[in-house]
Structure formats: structure tokens, C-alpha cells
């Protein structure tokens, strides 16, 4: 069971990273690629299940279970030039399972928990800085987790931003390779408020894992017109196989730009 939760966490981590990497509102700041950015992230994902099962002794029981996943992460991004940047992501995740089993002889309550730590470094390069689609390529290395290559592009129709990204992911610890597609549509309501709709689809190329999808809405609120301090609040509906659940994420961002000095 512990292995199953680790797989779920890694998929959710890729969803979070993919949605933040294809940052629609970030495309409005192309001229400031040399920014230094620090982000603090926290997410919570509850999931309820119920049904019938058979334990190791052969007894049949009905169960009701609550799975709670939380994660805390810190991200740092530094621009090397107007066309390239590097970043680092460190995430600590934990899960807790509370289950009530109803046997013919009476109820039984069990619980279990676990934690997981992962890190990721990446390098991103703008391929055609003056092109309207601003294509970019990113190489990421995650331990433990999924590493790979991403290709992204965005297009500005002020005040709307369209963005998309394709990931090719794999891991030496897993026989499954993945291809994922992330899209987003952002709308800048004013200088301090932005709304972004995000969709994600991850499909295993091989192995026995199941596809995953998500759709979410993010609200970004800036504390100042220069957007040096921002807060993101995101709600997402996630499907891993046929199992649905929700995810809530909060992100605090501090941006330092030379143009703001």
C-alpha cells in the first residue's frame, strides 16, 4: 500500500510542477527572464473511499477510508541571461490513511502514515526569444521521481495568455515512461489579479500505471503593481485512473527584478 501512495504522490507532484512550469501569467514577464524568484508551496488533497474487501485471513468486511495527502515545497529560480534560467525544487510530502472496517463480529479502526522527500533541478532555454510563441525547452532531473525533457510555448492576446507544454518523462526506478500535456488559459483582470484555467493529461507509454488527468482554476493576487510579491490559490479536480479527488494549493512568491531596483 505504501508503494501505491508514493506513486500517487509522484503523479500529483508532476501535476503541480507541470501547472506551475507552464505559467500563463509568467509569459507576460518575458522581458524579465533574469528575475530571481523564491516560492513557498503548500497543498492538501483529501480522498474518501468505501466498499467491500477480503482480508488476509479470508474474512469479508465493508470499509470506509479517508486518505489525506499534504506537501510543503520550496522553489528557487535564477535567470542566467535573458534566454536561460536554472531552478531547484525541494518537496516534502506526507500521507495518512484512516480506515474503519466493519466485520460480522464488529467494527475495527486502523490507521497508517508515511512521508516522502524529493528534489528536482532544471535548466530552461528560450529557443527563439523574439518569436511570438516564445518556444522553450527544459531539462529536469528529479530524485526520486520522474525526470525528462519539456517543450513549451505561449501566446499573448492581451489580456489573455494561451500556454501549452509537452513532457517526456521517465525514471530509472520505474519501468513506466510518461508523456503528458499541460495547457492553460490565463486572464489578467487588472494589475493585481489574474485568473488561470489549467488542464493536464498524463499517459503512460509503457508499464502498468494508469492515466491521470486534472483540471483546475488558479487565482493570482499581487500585493503591488510591480508584482514582486504574489499569492496563488488553486483548486483542482484530479483523476488517477477512475479515482477522483480534489487538491488545494497555496503558493507565496517573492520576485526580485533588476528593473525594479
Q: How many domains is the chain built from? A: 1
Q: Check: CB of residue 216 under 8 Å from CB of residue 235.
A: yes
Instruction: Flag whether the pTM goes above 0.85.
Output: no
Q: Quote the CA–CA distance of 69 and 9 in Å, as a whole number.
A: 8
- At 70-85, the pLDDT tens digits run 999 999 999 888 889 9
Helix/strand/coil (H/E/C) assignment for every residue in 12-23:
HHHHHHHHHHCC
- At 196-207, the pLDDT tens digits run 999 999 999 987
**What pLDDT, on the 0 to 100 scale, is given for residue 33?**
62
**What pLDDT, on the 0 to 100 scale, is given for residue 259?**
55
38 prior amide bond cis, ω within 30: no
Residues of the chain where predicted confidence (pLDDT) is lower than 50: 1-32, 261
**What pLDDT, on the 0 to 100 scale, is given for residue 150?**
96
**What pLDDT, on the 0 to 100 scale, is given for residue 10?**
41
**Domain residue limits at 154:** 2-260
**What pLDDT, on the 0 to 100 scale, is given for residue 19?**
38
Q: Check: CB of residue 146 under 8 Å from CB of residue 178.
A: yes
**What pLDDT, on the 0 to 100 scale, is given for residue 250?**
97
Q: Quote the CA–CA distance of 97 and 113 in Å, as a whole number.
A: 6
**What pLDDT, on the 0 to 100 scale, is given for residue 63?**
93
CATH number of the domain enclosing 229: 2.40.160.40
Amino acid at each position: 500500500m505504501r508503494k501505491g501512495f508514493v506513486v500517487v504522490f509522484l503523479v500529483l507532484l508532476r501535476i503541480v510542477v507541470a501547472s506551475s512550469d507552464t505559467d500563463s501569467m509568467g509569459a507576460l514577464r518575458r522581458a524579465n527572464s533574469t528575475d530571481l524568484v523564491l516560492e513557498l508551496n503548500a497543498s492538501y488533497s483529501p480522498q474518501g473511499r468505501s466498499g467491500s474487501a477480503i482480508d488476509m485471513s479470508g474474512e469479508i468486511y465493508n470499509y470506509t477510508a479517508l486518505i489525506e495527502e499534504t506537501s510543503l515545497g520550496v522553489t528557487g529560480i535564477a535567470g542566467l541571461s535573458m534566454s536561460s534560467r536554472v531552478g531547484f525544487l525541494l518537496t516534502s510530502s506526507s500521507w495518512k490513511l484512516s480506515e474503519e472496517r466493519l466485520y460480522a463480529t464488529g467494527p475495527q479502526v486502523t490507521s497508517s502514515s508515511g512521508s516522502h522527500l524529493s528534489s528536482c533541478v532544471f535548466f530552461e532555454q528560450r529557443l527563439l526569444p523574439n518569436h511570438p510563441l516564445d518556444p522553450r525547452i527544459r531539462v529536469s532531473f528529479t530524485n526520486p521521481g520522474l525526470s525528462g525533457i519539456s517543450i513549451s510555448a505561449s501566446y499573448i492576446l492581451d489580456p489573455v495568455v494561451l500556454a501549452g507544454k509537452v513532457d517526456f518523462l521517465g525514471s530509472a526506478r520505474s519501468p513506466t515512461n510518461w508523456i503528458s500535456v499541460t495547457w492553460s488559459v490565463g486572464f489578467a483582470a487588472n494589475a493585481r489579479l489574474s485568473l488561470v484555467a489549467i488542464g493536464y493529461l498524463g499517459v503512460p507509454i509503457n508499464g502498468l500505471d494508469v492515466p491521470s488527468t486534472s483540471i483546475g482554476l488558479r487565482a493570482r493576487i499581487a500585493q503591488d503593481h510591480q508584482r514582486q510579491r504574489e499569492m496563488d490559490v488553486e483548486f483542482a479536480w484530479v483523476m488517477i485512473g477512475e479515482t477522483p479527488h480534489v487538491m488545494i494549493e497555496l503558493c507565496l512568491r517573492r520576485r526580485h527584478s533588476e528593473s525594479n531596483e
